[in-house]
Structure 1
Amino acid sequence: MKPDRHLIWVVVLMVLAQLIAFYLVKDLDWKWVIFWAYVFGSCISHSMTLAIHEISHNSAFGNCKAMWNRWFGIFANLPLGLPYSISFKRYHMDHHRYLGGDGIDVDIPTDFEGWLFCTRFRKFIWIVLQPLFYAIRPLCINPKPISRLEIINLLAQLSFDVVIYYFWGIKSVCYMLAGSVLGLGLHPISGHFIAEHYMFLKGHETYSYYGPLNLLTFNVGYHNEHHDFPNIPGKSLPLVKKIAAEYYDNLPQYNSWIKVLYDFVMDDTISPYSRMKRHLKGDVKQE
């Protein structure tokens, strides 16, 4: 349980890579802007959201420098185009403390989502629209007062977007936003959203994935290990599995996020309702 200093340099390089991409796409035809947004930008954007996930657990600078992690999260947020980091931190901690908590854990789909997206075609549309639901769901399930840091996150992001538009034009801005939306929707990496907690098997609430996409996602696939030890950086989660192999090797697991997406759509017994929901007793203190 110690900071991962390499995370800092990886994030800096990812931001620089996207800045170079913003410059390179500014004069391309629109079809190529969208093509590269999906093929390259979406991978970087989704990977950056998972870097922000690591930063939300103070993995960059450690728990003793919590505010350094918050500022660094705002910096990592810049190439995504939309303010995300600070709000994610606030809600993600609830996900760990009250996993499946009704009215608290905003990772749980709403009743409306479960009711509407119940056929194969509708579930496919739901996967495409996942970024929209992840953005709106907190406002419906567990709205929180806007914090000072969220306002700073918003202003920093808007300023960055204006600078990109001023110097490189609308195509660079569209590449940035399209990469974020496409990367979090119908994309192989997005399989982790469903793989982590959707109950394909009764009695098993959390699942790990041990495939190659962990290399792009800071080992978020090691999800049982992450929930057991949320203060251990993703870099070290494979070591957790190795040390405690007798606890993890026999648990249900995945080797393909693409297959998870396919099975979710095609299996008529699985839907957004396929989550463990807990009705917590008593008052739960909120931040």
Structure 2
Amino acid sequence: MPINQTVTTTEFARVGTDEPHKSRRKEILTKYPEIKELYGPDIRLLPSILAIAAAQLCLCVYSTQLVWYKWIVLAYSAGGTLTHWLSLGNHELAHNLCFKTTRYNEVLGMIANCAQGLPSFVTFRKYHLDHHYFQGIDEKDVDVPTEWEGKIFNTTFRKIIWVFLQPLFYAIRPLVVRPKPPTIHEAINAATTIGFDLFLWYQYGLKALLFNLCSTLLGMGLHPVAGHFIAEHYTLATGQETYSYYGPLNLVTFNVGYHNEHHDFPRVSGFRLPQVKAIAPEFYDNLHSYESWTGVIYDYIVRPDIGPFSRVKRPDPTANR
């Protein structure tokens, strides 16, 4: 692939229309009101997250016996998959899809963070809900890259770096674009995760702690399951701003690939999203979708018409009120 091929897309696509999910949700519920029966928490998330966290922590301990190259392979493959699976469990918890009470979902999210090594859940929830409320709106939807990212990461080689550093951009971008006051819950989240990190270090050594951290960072970057970051909203096809993926990696991502369905019905848990598509297939079958997240990452990197600017933006409807 031509490593220095320059991206030809130099600005965001701007539309004057509302995001598509509210209107489609209304249409679907008019025809299929029974979908409302799928709304609400799903307690299956609790044993799932606990089991994934336990598996990751077992790998942390086991990794202390490995030579460095086997340690890296395990951190990328199994560790990266498990920690990313936990991050998508936290995505479910951000929508209160395990318990009815927000506080209980927060506690479970903090437990998941212990098996990721980084305190992220409370801050993620604070910004992620804005992504649903303000999809594509300047300075409100921090899921959209900044102008700076679009201008800097504009060659094939630089896009590889951008994909690899996705966890860094996801962590820092909200704090720069739309800083919000820190909360006591974020402090508790940080204290519990860092406290567990210190325990892991003391009990099993630095190698175990680094395995946890590296698994999380590798799993959020140039990794097959991380392909959903690009697949969800980057406009690899024209005329559409949200895309679903119906491939096998949904099994280790709480069905986050059903992303049109998720934005249409954010109150439906990932376990139940395939039922939404099964009930109302005519609303989704005509939309562009993917069968490979790895293929999406590859296309994003090598296609000169795709880059950080390949997102849809819209004006803030509340700006003149």
So what's the TM-score if we normalise by structure 2? 0.86
Instruction: Report the CA distance shift for 1:279/1:258 in structure 2 as closer, same or farther (over 3 A).
Output: same
The answer for the alignment partner of 2:47 in structure 1 is 9
Q: What displacement does 1:121 show?
A: 1.0
Stretches of structure 1 that go unaligned for 5 or more consecutive residues are: none
1:207 aligns with 2:243: yes
The answer for the alignment partner of 2:110 in structure 1 is 74
The 8 Å contact of residues 30 and 171 in structure 1, kept in 2 or not, is answered as no
The answer for the alignment partner of 1:58 in structure 2 is 96
Deviations 1:12-42 (A, max 9, x none): 1111112211211123222222121011100
Q: What displacement does 1:202 show?
A: 2.1
Work out the CA distance in 1 between the residues paired with 2:215 and 2:314: 34
Deviations 1:40-91 (A, max 9, x none): 10000000000000011111112xx111111111111111111000000000
1:154 aligns with 2:195: no
The answer for the alignment partner of 2:70 in structure 1 is 32
Deviations 1:201-232 (A, max 9, x none): 22200000000000000000000000000000
The 8 Å contact of residues 46 and 189 in structure 1, kept in 2 or not, is answered as yes
Work out the CA distance in 2 between the residues paired with 1:187 and 1:66: 31
Q: What displacement does 1:170 show?
A: 0.6
| Letter of the structure 2 residue corresponding to residue 39 of structure 1 | S
Work out the CA distance in 2 between the residues paired with 1:187 and 1:144: 30
Deviations 1:143-188 (A, max 9, x none): 1100010000000011000000000001001100100000000000
2:266 aligned residue (230, 255, 270) = 230
Work out the CA distance in 2 between the residues paired with 1:264 and 1:237: 26
2:211 aligned residue (166, 169, 175) = 175
Work out the CA distance in 1 between the residues paired with 2:284 and 2:159: 30
1:143 aligned residue (179, 193, 202) = 179
Q: Hey, which bits of structure 1, 4+ residues long, moved more than 6 A?
A: none
Q: Map of 1:180-259 to 2, 5 A cutoff?
A: 180-259=216-295
| Letter of the structure 2 residue corresponding to residue 10 of structure 1 | S
The answer for the alignment partner of 2:315 in structure 1 is 279
The answer for the alignment partner of 2:153 in structure 1 is 117
The 8 Å contact of residues 27 and 171 in structure 1, kept in 2 or not, is answered as no
So what's the TM-score if we normalise by structure 1? 0.96
Work out the CA distance in 2 between the residues paired with 1:121 and 1:163: 39
1:96 aligns with 2:132: yes
Work out the CA distance in 1 between the residues paired with 2:142 and 2:62: 37
The answer for the alignment partner of 1:22 in structure 2 is 60
Work out the CA distance in 1 between the residues paired with 2:93 and 2:40: 12
Deviations 1:117-149 (A, max 9, x none): 111111111101111111110111111100010
State which drifts further: 254-263 or 30-39.
30-39
Q: Which has the larger radius of gyration?
A: 2
| Letter of the structure 2 residue corresponding to residue 11 of structure 1 | I
Work out the CA distance in 1 between the residues paired with 2:312 and 2:143: 11
Comparing both chains, which one has the higher relative contact order based on Cα–Cα distances under 8 Å and sequence gaps of 6 or more? 2
Task: Compute the RMSD of aligned alpha carbons.
Answer: 1.3
